[in-house]
Structures are given as C-alpha cells and as structure tokens.
C-alpha cells in the first residue's frame, strides 16, 4: 500500500511550533511520510493562531495554498482558532476536519476516512475539559529546539483569548521536562528554548490537580544541570513572575543565556489597569534595572500593544517615552485587534485603525533604533555564536548568546557549531560582522 503523505503549516507562536512537531511525530508512528507544505500531500494540517486578526485571515490563504497543490487533499485545522471558532473554520471552503484544544493531539484517531467532506467536521471540547497536560517539543532545525513546559493561563487580561483557547494553567512534570531536554540534547541540538503560554507560572497543575511542588526557579535550576545542552533560552516571561532569584541564576548559569523577553503591553499604568495586567510600570523598570545590574550585556525584548481602547495620544506618548528611556534592546509591536468574548471588545474609547497603524509604525521605528544602539554597544566584545543551517543568499547567519544576529560568507562547516568571535562592525542590512577567535564545540 502506498505511504500516505502529510504536510504541516504552523501559524503563531513558538508553542504552536513545538506542538506541531509532536503531532508530526505521531503521524510518523502511524506510518505517514512527512513532506514540505509546498509539496503534494494526502493530508494538510494547519495549526492555527487567534492572537491577531491577521492570523485569522492567513488561515484562509493557507487553505487555498494547500488546495492549489492538491485539490483532493484532506485538510485539517487544529490549534487556538480551531478551539475558539470551530464552526467558522469548518465553513471555510476545503476544510474537512476541525479539532479543538484536547482533540488535536489525537488527530490520527480521526483519520480513518480521508474522503473529502462537503462540510468541515468539528470535534471540539468545552475549554474547561482542557485540564490535562500534553508535553511536546520541536526539532525543526539542527541548531535549536522549542521545549514546551507549560500550557494554558489563569490570567484574565481583557484583550486576550488564550485562556479561552487553551484552558487553565497547567505544567509538565519536572521529570518529563528533564527527560525531553535530555532527548533533545542527544540529537546534537545545541540550544533549547523554553516555551509555554505563561512559563513563569510553571509548577501549577504539575500533577493534574492544584498541588504545586515545583516553581519556575526550580525548573531552571535543574535544567541548568542537564549535561549535553549547550544553551538554554527563556522565551517570554511575565514581569511579575520573573523573580530576582531567576535573574541571578541566569547571570551565574552554565547554560542559560543573557536574553529575556518580557511582555510590557503598555507604558501607561492607567492602560495596564484597564488591560488587567498584574503589575505596574514601576515593577517593569525594576526588572530591567536588575537584569542590567547583574548582566550589563543582556538583551531585553519587549512586547507592546498599540491602539488599546482608551489609548489617547497622551497615553501613547507615555508608552513611547517610557520605552525610549528604558535600556531595552528591541520591541515586538502588536496592533490591537478586537477579539470576540473579551472585555476589551466592549470598551469605549475605540482607537481608529489608521491611528493604530501610525502608532505601530512609530514603535517599530523605535525598535530599529533600540536594536541598533544595542548592537553598537556590543561591538569590540567577544561573544559565542551558534550558527544556523540555512544558506541565506551566500551567507550563514547565527546568534550570539545575547541575541545579536551575525553574518559571514556561507560555510557549511560552521552549521550547528559554537564559535568564539569578536564583533567588529554593523553591515548595511543591520547584521553584525565579526572575526573568529576559536572553535568551542563541534
């Protein structure tokens, strides 16, 4: 019998990538052959995201892309959007199956019949049923893996649908995280990025109930001791959950790198309260100062939302000036988009879309300036680069431990190696050139 082919497309966050990888491995165990999404496949699986309006729109174009390659292929939608709006996805022309939060990991159980359906078949639970944990990690390229340690969120931020899409906060067991980390390191992968919905909340729901044996600090302490992992990176952590002890551990760590991504969302306390964030801007400043005090060379990334209801010109400028003065390295700017079933969608003070776009552009410009200043500050220092596997128009790219992106003429021998370099100059494309010092690890 001919081997069935499956292809995957992932929208959204690192967590989705780690879950797609795990689901792909379950297909492999069932005898499917994984192919690239641009190739002809019998099944196309699209892992959806619901964080922004744009991610919703992209889903339809991805479905069209799959149908163009193989009009007879079976198309399945999984992930956050599939949990929040299953009927809406099922109505998209070409979609055969929609699986919600708990069903996605059992997708192969739903594939007994790959005949195209006239209407998308929906299997999605009430989100309250998403109270068990499924561990996952991604091995997409040879250099880096995303390791999921936590899922769901108990926060009630007024703009966010993630608790509705992923359920309550729950964690992997410490034993399983360490086992997965070991498995990853044994495959020659040099860097692990810890991921989750709210990873600072790690420990909660570790045993399928409310007992709480471990904390995020325990997790990073134990992971730091796993042999074979050269680098560990914390993906994104809430400022109120990033404790000084964790910052100090990273500063003295064997494997954790000096790079933090800390969501801010607004530099205005008035808006932070409306967003129901769990901190004020003063706490954020404290975290940045603490990181820079113990790791002056650390890279700090920031998430920020523009155009939230009630964001006047004055409040936007408060955010802009706050970020401008803060010693951070780059921004991820999100333009606020109304999401169904969120408090913010009902709020007054709606910001016109053209103003949202203008503010977004201003903050993206600030991000370019911040990154440039951070890179300039790193010139003439010695750093360790992990080189990536792709030939980018005759160049090989890599990242230093503190997330400076570097480039050099393509050399396949460098792929997945760690090299000590001296950063020398910023190229016209904004990437950093360097001179080699020595080979660290093959």
Q: In what order do the strands lie in the sheet with 330-335?
A: 259-265, 299-306, 330-335
Phi and psi at residue 235, to the nearest 5°: -70, -65
* Number of Cβ atoms within 10 Å of the Cβ of 7: 23
Six-digit token string for 425: 């100059």
pLDDT in tens, the chain (442 residues): 578 999 999 998 788 888 899 899 899 989 999 999 999 999 999 999 876 677 667 899 999 999 999 999 999 999 988 888 888 899 999 999 999 887 888 898 888 767 666 667 887 656 566 556 666 777 655 688 989 999 999 999 999 988 888 889 999 999 999 999 999 999 889 999 999 999 999 998 877 666 678 999 999 999 999 988 999 999 899 999 999 999 999 999 999 999 999 999 999 999 999 999 999 999 999 999 999 999 999 999 999 999 999 999 999 999 999 999 999 999 999 999 999 899 999 999 999 999 999 999 999 999 999 999 999 999 999 999 999 988 999 999 999 999 999 999 999 999 999 999 999 999 999 999 999 986 555 5
Residues with Cβ within 8 Å of residue 173, at least 6 apart in sequence? 206, 207
- Alpha-carbon distance 10 to 78, whole Å? 10
3-state helix, strand, coil in the chain (%, to 5): 35, 25, 40
| Residues 110 and 103: beta-carbon distance below 8 Å | yes
Q: In what order do the strands lie in the sheet with 33-35?
A: 33-35, 5-10, 43-48, 74-79, 97-99, 121-123
- Alpha-carbon distance 61 to 158, whole Å? 29
């Amino acid at each position: 019998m001919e081997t069935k082919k499956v292809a995957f497309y992932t929208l959204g966050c690192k967590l989705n990538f780690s879950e797609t990888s795990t689901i792909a491995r379950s297909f492999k165990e069932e005898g499917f052959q994984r192919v690239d999404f641009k190739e002809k496949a019998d099944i196309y699986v699209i892992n959806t995201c619901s964080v922004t309006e744009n991610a919703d729109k992209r889903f339809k174009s991805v479905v069209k892309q799959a149908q163009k390659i193989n009009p007879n292929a079976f198309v399945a939608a999984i992930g956050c959007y599939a949990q929040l709006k299953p009927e809406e996805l099922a109505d998209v022309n070409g979609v055969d199956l929609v699986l919600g939060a708990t069903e996605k990991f059992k997708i192969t159980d739903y594939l007994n019949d790959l005949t195209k359906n006239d209407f998308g078949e929906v299997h999605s639970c009430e989100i309250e049923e998403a109270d068990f944990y499924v561990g996952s990690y991604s091995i997409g390229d040879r250099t880096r893996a995303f390791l999921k340690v936590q899922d769901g969120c108990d926060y009630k931020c007024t703009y966010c649908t993630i608790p509705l899409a992923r359920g309550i906060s729950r964690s992997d067991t410490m034993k399983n995280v360490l086992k997965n980390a070991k498995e990853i390191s044994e495959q020659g992968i040099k860097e692990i990025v810890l991921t989750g919905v709210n990873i600072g909340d790690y420990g909660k729901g570790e045993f399928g109930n409310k007992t709480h044996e471990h904390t995020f600090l325990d997790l990073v302490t134990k992971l730091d001791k796993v042999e074979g992992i050269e680098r560990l990176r914390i993906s994104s952590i809430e400022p109120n959950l990033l404790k000084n002890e964790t910052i100090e551990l990273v500063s003295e760590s064997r494997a954790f790198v000096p790079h933090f991504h800390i969501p801010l969302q607004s530099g205005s306390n008035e808006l932070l309260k409306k967003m129901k964030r769990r901190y004020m801007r003063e706490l954020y400043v404290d975290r940045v100062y603490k990181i820079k005090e113990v790791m002056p060379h650390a890279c700090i990334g920031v998430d920020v939302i523009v155009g939230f209801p009630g964001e006047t010109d004055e409040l936007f400028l408060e955010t802009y000036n706050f970020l401008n003065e803060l010693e951070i390295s780059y921004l991820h700017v999100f333009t606020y988009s109304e999401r169904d079933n969120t408090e913010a969608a009902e709020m007054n003070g709606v910001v016109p879309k053209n103003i949202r776009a203008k503010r977004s552009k201003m903050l993206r410009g600030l991000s370019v300036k911040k990154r440039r200043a951070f890179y300039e500050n790193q010139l003439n220092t010695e750093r360790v680069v992990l080189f990536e596997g792709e030939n980018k128009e005759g160049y090989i790219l890599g990242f230093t431990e503190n997330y400076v992106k570097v480039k050099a003429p393509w050399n396949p021998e460098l792929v997945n190696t760690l090299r000590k370099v001296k950063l020398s100059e910023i190229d016209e494309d904004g990437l950093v050139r360097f001179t080699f010092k020595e080979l660290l690890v093959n």
